[in-house]
A and B are shown apart, each in its own frame.
Chain A
Amino acid sequence: MHTSRGVNITWNGVPTFTQFQTTDSFIKAHHSDADIIVYNGCAIEDSMPLISGDNLVTLVKKGLPSKALLREMMVCRHSPGVHNALCNATVGIAGLGGLGSHVAIALARMGIGKLIIADFDVVEPTNLNRQAYLVSHLGCFKADALKRQLSEIHPYTDVDAHVVRLTTENTMGLFETCDVVVEAFDRADQKAMLVNLILSEGNMPIVAASGMAGLYSGNLIKSKQRTSRLFVVGDERHEATPGKGLMAPRVLIAAGHQALVVSQLITGQLDFDHNNDMR
Chain B
Amino acid sequence: MLINGIKGDEWLGVSVMAYLEANHIPKDRVVVEVDGVIVPSVLHNVTFLKLDQRVEIIQFVGGG
Partner of B64, one of A100, A226, A227, A275: A100
Chain A at the B interface: SS class: loop
Q: Does A184 contact B (CB under 8 A)?
A: yes
Q: Does A240 contact B (CB under 8 A)?
A: yes
User: Measured between C-beta atoms, what is the minimum distance from A12 to chain B in Å?
Assistant: 41
Contacts of A236 in B (CB 8 A): 59, 61
Q: Does B29 contact A (CB under 8 A)?
A: yes
Instruction: Take A196-B31, A227-B33, A227-B56 as given contacts and tell me if A184 and B64 are in contact as well, using a CB distance cutoff of 8 Å.
Output: yes
User: Measured between C-beta atoms, what is the minimum distance from B62 to chain A in Å?
Assistant: 4
User: In the complex, what residue of chain B is closest to A201 when comparing beta carbons?
Assistant: B38
Cα A65 to Cα B56 with chains together (Å): 48
Contacts of A237 in B (CB 8 A): 61
Contact A192 B56, beta carbon cutoff 8 Å = no
Chain A: interface residue total (CB-CB under 8 A): 37
Contacts of A180 in B (CB 8 A): none
Q: Does A199 contact B (CB under 8 A)?
A: yes
User: In the complex, what residue of chain B is closest to A213 when comparing beta carbons?
Assistant: B63
Chain B: interface residue total (CB-CB under 8 A): 19
Cα A189 to Cα B25 with chains together (Å): 12
Contact B5 A228, beta carbon cutoff 8 Å = no
22 residue pairs bridging A and B, Cβ less than 8 Å apart:
A186-B62, A188-B29, A189-B28, A189-B29, A189-B60, A191-B64, A196-B31, A196-B38, A196-B40, A199-B31, A199-B33, A208-B60, A209-B63, A210-B59, A210-B60, A226-B56, A226-B58, A227-B56, A228-B36, A230-B58, A236-B61, A238-B63
Extra contacts besides A192-B29, A196-B38, A212-B63 (11): CB < 8 Å: A100-B64, A188-B26, A188-B61, A188-B62, A192-B60, A196-B31, A209-B64, A227-B36, A227-B56, A232-B58, A240-B62
Task: Tell me the B residues contacting A by CB distance below 8 Å.
Answer: 5, 26, 28-31, 33, 36, 38, 40-41, 56, 58-64
Task: Tell me the A residues contacting B by CB distance below 8 Å.
Answer: 95, 97-100, 184-189, 191-192, 195-196, 199-200, 208-213, 226-228, 230, 232, 234, 236-240, 246, 251, 275
